[in-house]
Structure 1
Amino acid sequence: MNTQQIIAIAIFAIVMLLIISEKIDRTVVALSGAALMFVFKILTFEEGISHIDFNTLFVLIGMMIVVSIVKKSGLFEYVAILTAKISKGDPSKIMVYFMIITAFLSAVLDNVTTVLLIGPMTLVISDILSINPIPFLITQILASNIGGTSTLIGDPPNIMIGSAAGLSFGDFIVNLGPIIVIILAIVIVIFKIFYRKQLVKSEESEKLIANLDEKKAIQDKTLLVKSILVLIMILIGFMSHSKLGIESSVVALSGACILLL
């Protein structure tokens, strides 16, 4: 082992320890570690840039822009309130429905963005029902990871694997979709049993949920229609990008640009 390899291992170890400790912002730590790799000439700048998966970055950037715009229409709040009303205030059903919605959104958007959207809505619903939000949040974390595994864009590792191996959106769905549905069903059953004593329905909670109006959550109907159309276009684009010979990042950024325009 030469000197450069020892320095590289030392930098990596320090970076990992600082990230785990959470005493310094993770972004600052990661960028500082990368800078040290250049300073000690372990990598040239060109070599460092070549290791960046821009396809993955641009898919995430594009989808986060899309979601941030769609959010302004009130679509996600509408879905959350409607789901709570369909469950008639039953916390156990709300947990199951939110898990299914989280898994689905993680598959067609990405799991990081999905959790950022579903999390605040969950806290609002649990506050209305005056119940502990932990069962909802824990199950949504699992559902997000499970659902995100099923598609090319659902999880950053999937995007990187798909980009490196030349796998398409359809390849992921065909090979992972059926297994993911089974795993999600098993996890739902396990957590329904595990949290059965904490998630108890009451007449008061049913009345509180019944009084909510999901239509009031829609803030911009015109934007809502545009958002749904663009999301459908993006989904079609992801499903056919390999046949069209374009990268998934192009689809995501194109959808983002259309909504921005």
Structure 2
Amino acid sequence: MKSPKKERGRSSAVSLTTSSGRRAGEVRIVGGRWRRTPLVVTDREGLRPTPERVRETVFDWLGHLLGSYAGRRALDLFAGSGALGLEALSRGFAALDLVERDRAQAAGIRAALERLGALEAAALHVEDAFAFLARSPLLWDVIFIDPPFALGLQDDAVARALERLAPDGILYVERSGELTADALLERLGLVRLRATSAGQVSCELLARADGALAPLAKADKKMKMKKTKPGAARSKEKDA
């Protein structure tokens, strides 16, 4: 997630922050070797970390779908606080790339990587997310896509990230309101494996329709979103 600069339209979209009015504070890594470790959320306009209860659900899904994280690579494309990527590394992913255009946010991520002793497993790229995708030759098993809600970059990001996704990889997409349109999924050759929502935030896991994970998609093509129960969510966060 990036600090807003001049918008140039969706065809040449750049990675910018998402706005929620959140003040400076902390989020925690929910699971794995760094469980309960706080991550600083700086007081910058537009920074909106993925809620802990959403990360808990998403990584439960990923663990079920992938079986093991051993040897797998993750890409946190709009990193912001780095919560999604560091959650992946904490839970056993072998390698992580984080892309963050805003230098102040990137400095916070680097500080977290140093504090956790994760510099050997993680690479931080201080640049535009779409430019990074265009130049990188790598493929990732999981790509986290959480671009600015207000600018509607999710569809562009999905299409571009798909080119760098491993054959049986998974795209995580977070947005406000509706999920990725069925027409776009069909055009890109994707299926929705899972979906959930928490408040105004909805997220989903996508995979190639011709890949090994496609049969694991929910039978209901309309995929009614699973609502996280507030009471259960609070209990999970309290225990995390």
What's the TM-score once normalised by structure 2's chain length? 0.30
What's the TM-score once normalised by structure 1's chain length? 0.28
Q: State the structure with bigger RCO (CA 8 A, min sep 6), 1 or 2.
A: 1
Which structure features the higher share of helix residues?
Answer: 1
Higher Cα Rg: structure 1 or 2?
1
